Amino acid sequence: MRERSAESNGKYIAVHLRFEEDMVAFSCCVYDGGDEEKKEMDVAREIGWRGKFTRRGKVIRPGIIRMNGKCPLTPLEVGLMLRGMGFNNKTAIYLASGKIYKSEKTMAPLLEMFPLLQTKETLASDEELAPFKNFSSRMAALDYSVCTYSEVFVTTQGGNFPHFLMGHRRYLYGGHSKTIKPDKRRLAILFDNPRIGWKSLKRHLLNMRAHSDAKGVEMKRPNESIYTFPCPDCMCRLNKTTHSKPIHTR
């Protein structure tokens, strides 16, 4: 990936995209709509979570789910977000993801906006991927490794992968890792506004990026995950003080 990023001195951004079929199905969000998508999602939900979404009294409101920022971002939305945040079509991007839902159709606009985009499938040969291909955790480990050393990490959905990775990068870079964690509630409002112009959208997205970059130096707050906000120096000093105290026996 560093070799493919030679024009930017080996620097690249990594994007964790969660738009696999099971993720789209579990979210209960509506995208293209129509009978075809509904049938596909109903089947996927029944296979993955038998009866969970069809039990009596279960009410699903896709519009509310989206406005609460719970819908996975589409490749198009990710592309618009990144372009609005100032990344141009010469930006080297590594896309960490599983099999994208309807990838031939949904990935087209993202690839058009970022022609230098790479994935583990484009960087590695079939022979190199063979030992990993049938194991989702191994494939995720490859993505994790490349994302760890990116100049900027962009997370688009929650989960263990981004939480552990953000903590790992904070530790590696002394709390100064560059991370973009977009406000998906604000994104939903911006993207669903038919009257917003590109200049206005870009201004909002640049502000969102600036806020995310500033959060890269955050320290752990009460009830936050120690994996996302590791504070090794503080803990080491605390442990050293604790263990250095003499033990008094009665």
| 14, containing H or E segment | strand 13-16
167, 65: one domain? no
> In the structure, what pLDDT confidence band is assigned to residue 220 with cuts at 50, 70 and 90?
low
| Contact of 13 with 87, CB cutoff 8 Å | yes
174: in domain: yes
Q: Read off the pLDDT of residues 80-93 as tens digits, 9 standing for 90 and up.
A: 999 999 999 999 99
Q: Give Cα separations from 156 to 78, 102, 185, 212 (angstroms).
A: 8, 18, 12, 12
Specify whether 40 is located in the same domain as 140.
no
Q: Which residue has the higher pLDDT, 228 or 71?
A: 71
The answer to whether position 34 is within a domain reads yes
Residue 245 counted as domain residue: no
User: Does residue 4 fall inside a structural domain?
Assistant: no
CB-based contacts of 174, cutoff 8 Å, min separation 6: none
Residue 97 forms part of a structural domain:
yes
Same domain membership, residue 59 and residue 42: yes
Asked if residue 104 and residue 66 are part of one domain, the reply reads no
In terms of domains, do 37 and 81 share one? no
Question: What range defines the domain where residue 214 resides?
Answer: 13-19+72-234
Please count the residues of the chain. 250
Helix (H) or strand (E) holding 233: helix 232-244
Q: Does a structural domain hold residue 241?
A: no
Tell me: pLDDT of 250 over 60: no
| 95 and 199 fall within a common domain | yes
User: How is 97-154 classified by DSSP, letter by letter?
Assistant: -SSBTTHHHHSHHHHHH-TT-B-HHHHS-HHHHTTTTT-HHHHHHHHHHHHHT-SEEE
Residues 212, 167, single domain; the answer is: yes
The per-residue pLDDT of the chain, averaged, comes to: 87
My answer on whether 57 and 123 are in the same domain is no
Closest of 118, 80, 81, 102 to residue 34, by C-alpha: 102
Q: What pLDDT digit, counting tens, does each position of 97-136 carry?
A: 999 999 999 999 999 999 999 999 999 999 999 999 999 9
The total of structural domains in the chain comes to: 2
pLDDT band (50, 70, 90) for residue 214: low
> Do 56 and 159 have their domain in common?
no
The pLDDT of residue 247 is 47
Which value, to the nearest 10 degrees, does the dihedral of the CA atoms of residues 164, 169, 172, 176 take? -140
Neighbours of 52 (CB within 10 A): 11
Does 99 share its domain with 117?
yes
Do 84 and 42 fall within a single domain? no
Banded pLDDT at 249 (limits 50, 70, 90): very low
pLDDT for the residue numbered 213 = 63
Question: For residue 139, how many other CB atoms are within 10 A of its CB?
Answer: 19
Q: Give helix 184-191 / helix 75-84 axis angle, nearest 10°.
A: 90
3-class SS shares of the chain: helix, strand, coil, % to 5: 50, 5, 40
Residue 206 falls inside a structural domain: yes
Same domain, 39 and 76: no
Tokens at residue 218, please?
Answer: 């955050």
Tell me whether residue 45 is in a domain: yes
Answering whether pTM is above 0.75, one says: yes
